[in-house]
Amino acid sequence: MQDRMMSWIAKGNEHVQSLTISIITGTACPCLIADDSDETSYNPGWHRANPAPGDEDCDGSGIIDPNKTTTVTNLKAMIFTEKLTTQADSMMDQILDQLGKIQATDLIICGCWDSDNEAYFSISGYNDRTAKITYDSKDYLIREVYTMPESVCQWARLVEKN
């Protein structure tokens, strides 16, 4: 299914556009492993208990300077605007329900595929500090991500980054 979706996107249609994702990676901050839950996420409580200097604040990224690197990947995805919500059929309604309240400036994307190797590219698991998407010279942050069954593709709502 994923292959079929990919070849369909590769062929191109009016919605298929190029975008980039910038991902910050580096040394994991100790606050990530201090969390009680299984999820590794930014833990402001750890930073309050271990103030800088000495334990450098990762500033919400979960990654400590100066080991940060930014990797930019070219992606292809189908891009829709809020107008989609007025044209939605019942299947689409179910998907849009997963994406929260859609604002006029939001982008809805469906994909994504790495433009260089045409591989499926997951955009889940990032936060506002570790990833941004650039489309049409504007930067966006990833909000809700909905992964379709069997990881056929992901739908996501992007909000404009101020």
Minimum gap (Å) between residue 138 Cβ and Zn ion: 28
Q: Which is nearer to Zn ion, 28 or 88 (CB)?
A: 28
| Binding piece for Zn ion, criterion CB under 5 A, among 23-31, 79-87, 118-126, 132-140 | 23-31
- How far from 70 is each of 22, 57, 130, CA to CA, in Å? 6, 18, 9
Site for Zn ion in 61-80 (CB under 5 A): none
At residue 107, what are phi and psi to the nearest 5 degrees? Answer: -115, 140
Minimum gap (Å) between residue 58 Cβ and Zn ion: 3
Sequence length of the chain is 162
Q: Which is nearer to Zn ion, 58 or 123 (CB)?
A: 58
Site for Zn ion contains 58 (CB under 5 A): yes
Q: Which of 6, 19, 21, 31 binds Zn ion (CB under 5 A)?
A: 31
| Binding piece for Zn ion, criterion CB under 5 A, among 17-25, 55-63, 131-139, 153-161 | 55-63
| Binding piece for Zn ion, criterion CB under 5 A, among 13-21, 25-33, 115-123, 134-142 | 25-33
Report yes or no: 44 and 61 within 8 Å, Cβ to Cβ.
no
Minimum gap (Å) between residue 25 Cβ and Zn ion: 14
How is the chain classified by DSSP, letter by letter? Answer: -HHHHHHHHHH--TTEEEEEEEEEEEEEPHHHHT-SSSS----HHHHHHSPTTTS---TTSSEEEEEEEEEEEEEEEEEE-TTHHHH--HHHHHHHHTT-PPPTT-EEEEEEEETTT--B----S--TTTEEEEETTEEEEEEEEEEPGGG--EEEEEEE--
Minimum gap (Å) between residue 129 Cβ and Zn ion: 10
Minimum gap (Å) between residue 145 Cβ and Zn ion: 23
Site for Zn ion contains 29 (CB under 5 A): yes
Q: What are the residues binding Zn ion (CB under 5 A)?
A: 29, 31, 58
